[in-house]
Amino acid sequence: MAPESKQSPWKIWLREWNWEERITNFTPSWFTVTMGTGVMTQLLVDFPYPAQWLRNLGYCFWILDICIFTMFTVFTVLRYCWYPVLMKSTLKDFSQSNYLGAISISFNTLITGIIFYYDYRESAMWVAYVMWWFSVALTLAVSLGAVFVMVAKQEKHELEKITAVWLLSFIPMIVTSATGGALLPYIRYPNNVAVLIVSFLLWSAGESFCFIFTTIYFWRLMSCNLPTRDAIVSCCIQMGPFGMGAYSIQLQAVFLSQYIKGSHFGPTQSEPPPLPQETLLATAEAVHWLGIIVALFLIGHCTFWFVESFSSVIFRIPKAFNIGFWAFTFPLGVYGLGLCHLSKDIRNSGLKGYAATISVLTMLLWLLCAVGTVYKGFWKGELFYAPGLEDWIYNDPREGKRQEQADEPRTVSKSSRRLEEMQARKRTASSSGGYSIDKQPTGDEENGLTNGSEGH
């Protein structure tokens, strides 16, 4: 008997870990991992009690964030190239299209890392500047496009099925404004003025939409009770827009205050403005304090949702770890970020201690989510599941359909054939990771809760 031909370790690794199936089941909700990892960099750099080792650790998180974001982007491109119809399914399902906002947020965390660690290089700041404008375009496409698709293309939405995940369509505007605020001190006139104006417009639009949604969501909680156990962690997303909003408005207020002082800038049509230096200095201080007051207002609102979210999770503890747990990491991190910056501005020891506590809590939560994701996701493959995947590929007119009877003629598209071949390999060969796409979901899995995509 002839010996079996040896296969390369690369092919064995691909087959035994079943990466094709995992990529096929990859959804945008996985980008919440990069959101949570990216915010760790900002927390460590802005920690109330700074230390060089914390800054170095933050750099490691930033590199990790880049690697994860690159890998997830490759997975996403491959998935939609293999099965183009799944892009349509993502857009038509609002619980999935919301997670497109996580891509924009994740991209902003990469820009922030450049600003934090390469601010001494003018070329790096120009790279960050170009990337930021791309992020603005991506944010507007996600935020405005998602709302239009919701009202024009999607099915009727029920109050009971509204979740805080919907906020991920609007939070990117606030995150992009914060990134612009961090970039402001390192770019020159008139580019910095353009970034300031666009950042404030994004901040105001994002906060307005989030306050509108918060009212609806609060009424949903009062009318329909808490979400299910598997989706309970999504309540924590409510902290995101207010924590990041507080951080963003402080950055913009500080820059505008310094710009008024240094450039003698005043809101008049003559240049230089016919205002005395004392008036300009007083205006600059007023702008700075206004930023602090608005930040305190948003932090107070965020604290309310922090208490409510923690109480909800304790009252209805999830049964098992799922990818939706990452929805807690980023909101808690930006809450700590807003507190860190605020504590430095008003130089309050108690607020510094509280900010440090929230930051440490975020780090512990990140560690818990990272361990769960590596073990259940990449090692066992149990987190790779896209609800309704098989139906979308087979039922779309352009993708062919199932053969109901043996003698029935059938056209099979490339996407359908690829799915069938993958399932055939799954049936004939045992796999050490992942699970079959044709697994019939039960209970909360039918609503995509194991991917953190929806809850009621």
Work out the pLDDT band at 108, boundaries 50, 70, 90: very high
For the question of whether the overall pTM of this predicted structure is more than 0.75, the answer is: yes
Q: Does the CA dihedral 42-195-101-125 come out positive or negative?
A: negative
Q: What is the mean pLDDT of the chain?
A: 76
pLDDT at residue number 364: 92
Q: What is the mean pLDDT of residues 58-68?
A: 92
Work out the pLDDT band at 427, boundaries 50, 70, 90: very low
**Phi, psi dihedrals of residue 357, rounded to the nearest 5°:** -65, -45
pLDDT at residue number 99: 81
pLDDT at residue number 388: 47
245-304 pLDDT tens trace: 999 999 999 888 888 877 766 666 556 666 677 777 888 888 889 989 999 999 998 999
The percent of residues in the chain predicted with pLDDT above 90, rounded, is 25
Residue type, 314: I
Helices (H) and strands (E) in the chain, counts: 16, 0
315-328 pLDDT tens trace: 877 777 777 778 78
Taking the C-alpha atoms of residue 201 and residue 203, their distance in angstroms, rounded to an integer, is 5
Taking the C-alpha atoms of residue 334 and residue 329, their distance in angstroms, rounded to an integer, is 9
Work out the pLDDT band at 81, boundaries 50, 70, 90: confident
pLDDT at residue number 129: 93
Taking the C-alpha atoms of residue 407 and residue 211, their distance in angstroms, rounded to an integer, is 58
Within its chain, how far is the Cα of 64 from the centroid? 16
Q: Which two tokens stand for residue 111?
A: 């820009």
- CA neighbor of 433 nearest in space, from 21, 78, 72: 21
pLDDT at residue number 3: 46
Please give the residue that has the higher pLDDT: either 447 or 267: 267
Examine residue 397 and say whether the peptide bond preceding it is cis (omega within 30 degrees of 0). Answer: no
